């Protein structure tokens, strides 16, 4: 049985990058990500009272997530999103889903 995977990327923005710029590039890269095989759900959030963001995506399998990552790194719209991010701040983790409910938001 395949197990769903959550990918969590935490990061801060490069100096001078606005929230509006982040949202614009996140939307564009999100459209690319949503078309990838195995995609389930994605959200972007900001940690309260900090300048740290998390980009969270759900995938059918780890293989789907890994294939998306390779494609993400080669795609101009995704590279533009990454260009806003302080590369020294990036943290990436993968988690196996143990239980879940429907997302109605």
Q: What local confidence, expressed as pLDDT, does residue 100 receive?
A: 77
The reply to whether 67 falls in a domain is yes
The reply to whether 103 falls in a domain is no
The reply to whether 28 falls in a domain is yes
The reply to whether 86 falls in a domain is yes
Range of the domain at 47: 5-96
Look at the chain and report how many structural domains it folds into: 1
The reply to whether 104 falls in a domain is no
The reply to whether 102 falls in a domain is no
Cα–Cα dist 98/100, whole Å: 7
Q: What local confidence, expressed as pLDDT, does residue 1 receive?
A: 60
How big is the CA angle at 50 (ends 92 and 97), to the nearest 5 degrees? 35
Q: What is the CATH number of the domain that holds 89?
A: 3.30.70.100
Q: Which residues contact 94 (CB under 8 A, 6 or more apart)?
A: 5, 6, 7, 8, 62, 65
Count of C-beta atoms within a 10 Å radius of residue 77:
15
What is the full per-residue pLDDT of the chain (105 aa) written as tens digits?
679 999 999 999 999 999 999 999 999 999 999 999 999 999 999 999 999 999 999 999 999 999 999 999 899 999 999 999 999 999 999 999 998 777 666
Q: Which of the 8 DSSP states describes residue 84? A: T
Instruction: Indicate the helix (H) or strand (E) that contains 63.
Output: helix 62-74
- The pTM score is 0.90
Cα–Cα dist 23/105, whole Å: 18
Cα–Cα dist 55/98, whole Å: 20
């Amino acid at each position: 049985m395949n197990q769903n995977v959550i990918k969590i990327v935490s990061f801060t923005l490069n100096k001078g990058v606005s929230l509006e710029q982040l949202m614009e590039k996140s939307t564009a890269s999100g459209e690319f990500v949503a078309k990838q095989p195995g995609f389930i759900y994605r959200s972007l959030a900001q940690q309260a009272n900090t300048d740290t963001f998390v980009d969270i995506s759900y995938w059918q399998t780890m293989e789907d997530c890994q294939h998306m990552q390779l494609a993400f790194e080669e795609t101009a719209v995704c590279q533009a999103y990454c260009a806003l991010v302080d590369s020294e701040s990036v943290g990436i983790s993968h988690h196996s889903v143990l239980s879940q409910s429907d997302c109605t938001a």
